[in-house]
Amino acid sequence: MSYEAIVIGVSLGGMNALKIMFSLLPKNFNTPIIIVQHLSPRSDNQWIKILNEKSNLHIKEADEKEKIEKGNVYIAPANYHLPIEKNKTFSLTINERVNFARPSIDVLFESAAEAYKNKLIGIVLTGSNKDGTNGIKRIQEFGGLTIIQNPETTESSYMPISALSAIRPDYILSLEEIIKVLIKIDKQIIR
């Protein structure tokens, strides 16, 4: 099985989780990663720059119409939703909030499921609302691989618990274990 993209939804506690994740992912990690982290609508992208400095991978804010490339990590800009088009480019919208959130994890996940079908990995990490629950379900319905952070290992367990109420994921793991699985899968992909 080969995977073409990884989508990650994370909310409260996300800053720490992402810091850990990108200190552990190696330089040659190839599968593109697309992230929605809930933020205040007024926050700028300074934190992305800081995250990028400490990472082996290239982390950037997603631009509108940008093509999704291997080896890159994309983060949704504050106050915009980030749907993925079938041609594997980003759109940005300022549609109503979904689950009180913009960017919303569901918007990213549901569009990614339709664009990548069973070639997608969806991950729900720490967080304090139910955003991501519908999205991870959709990813599973399209045959993608689903991973939910073990609620006992999160800063905020509400979001993973909510996701677990909707599906039985392929993996329930701690953050460190999730990273190991990702590295293993990424290595197996024939390029």
At a CB cut-off of 8 Å and minimum separation 6, what does 71 contact? 29, 30, 32, 57, 58
Query: What DSSP string runs through 115-176?
Result: HHGGGEEEEE-S-SSSTTHHHHHHHHHTT-EEEEE-GGGSSS-HHHHHHHHH---SEEE-HH
Residue 58 annotated as catalytic: no
Residue 115 in the binding site for another protein (CB under 8 A): yes
Residue 95 in the binding site for another protein (CB under 8 A): yes
Stretch that binds another protein, among 50-58, 107-115, 155-163, 166-174 (CB under 8 A): 107-115
The one catalytic residue in 104, 131, 156, 157 is 131
Residue 91 in the binding site for another protein (CB under 8 A): yes
The one catalytic residue in 11, 111, 156, 162 is 11
Q: Which residues bind another protein (CB under 8 A)?
A: 63-65, 77, 80, 83-86, 91-96, 107, 110-111, 114-115, 117, 138, 141-142
